[in-house]
Amino acid sequence: MTVDVGDILRVAVTGTSPQASVFQNVWHYSATSGTGGNPDVVLAGLAAQHAIAWADMGARISDEYTWTLYEMWKRDIINQRWDGISVLDVSDFAGSSVNDPVAHGVAAVGRVVTNSFRRQGRHFLPGVTELQIVDGLFQAAALTDMADYMSDFAETEIAGGITLDWCTYNTTPGSPVFQTESLATNTVIANEIPGYQRRRKPLVGI
């Protein structure tokens, strides 16, 4: 199976945090142009570009949080399902701060504006340290780094010869926008108020 122009990809990175609680971050991409399409090369290229974004926030994330696995799926529009096409082990995504992390579930939240009215992408980043929050709000320096982090993801990516744009993608049957995407713009927002990234129980994920 290859990645071709017009495809929608789902990319998830899985990590672990204290008490072996598992968390995931998920992105959707629209393949807009290019040639190539080897899934393993595409995923490796995305991971390399993601590393640039992680570096923006790494010093503000506890070293007890580590991302370990990338997985990628391709949308089968006819059968309305995700088909797994690539897996990649990673070891270079981790927090570097020795300070205490915030409570489980608390996360930095970034938003990206899309080209569709009232459709925004949200991204949760767990493991930020307590020092980043004062009186219940993220400090200005942390917000600046979060905005840089989000901007790196909102940019057009080229991986394995394929041009990929971050997007939102609707998988709710019955929705008027079911199986449609909205491409991200370069307008990003870092939320001053912390958010909550749901976890059900240790070793089960979000």
Range of the domain at 12: 8-196
Higher pLDDT, 11 or 1: 11
Q: pLDDT category, 19, cuts 50, 70, 90?
A: confident
φ/ψ of 72, rounded to 5, equals -135, 135
Read off the DSSP letter of residue 128.
B
CA dist 65 and 24 (Å) reads 12
pLDDT in tens, 28-75: 999 999 987 899 999 999 998 888 888 899 999 999 998 889 999 999
In a domain, 78, yes or no: yes
pTM of the model: 0.90
CA distances from 23 to 1, 27, 44 (A): 28, 14, 21
Q: Classify 177 as helix, strand or coil.
A: coil
pLDDT in tens, 163-195: 999 999 999 999 999 999 999 988 999 999 999
In a domain, 57, yes or no: yes
Residue 199: pLDDT above 70? no
What angle (nearest 5°) sits at the alpha carbon of residue 112, between those of residues 24 and 85? 45
In Å, the largest CA–CA distance within the chain is 50
In a domain, 206, yes or no: no
CA dist 11 and 31 (Å) reads 13
In a domain, 85, yes or no: yes
Both tokens of 158, joined, read 């080229």
Mean pLDDT of 4-13: 95
The structural domain count of the chain equals 1
What local confidence, expressed as pLDDT, does residue 9 receive? 96
CB-CB contact of 29 with 166 (8 Å): yes
Q: Which residues pair with 184 in a beta bridge?
A: 114
In a domain, 107, yes or no: yes
Q: C-alpha dihedral over 25, 52, 154, 40, to 10 degrees?
A: -70
What angle (nearest 5°) sits at the alpha carbon of residue 200, between those of residues 198 and 205? 80
pLDDT in tens, 127-172: 999 999 999 999 999 999 999 999 988 888 888 889 999 999 999 9
CB-CB contact of 88 with 13 (8 Å): no
In a domain, 205, yes or no: no
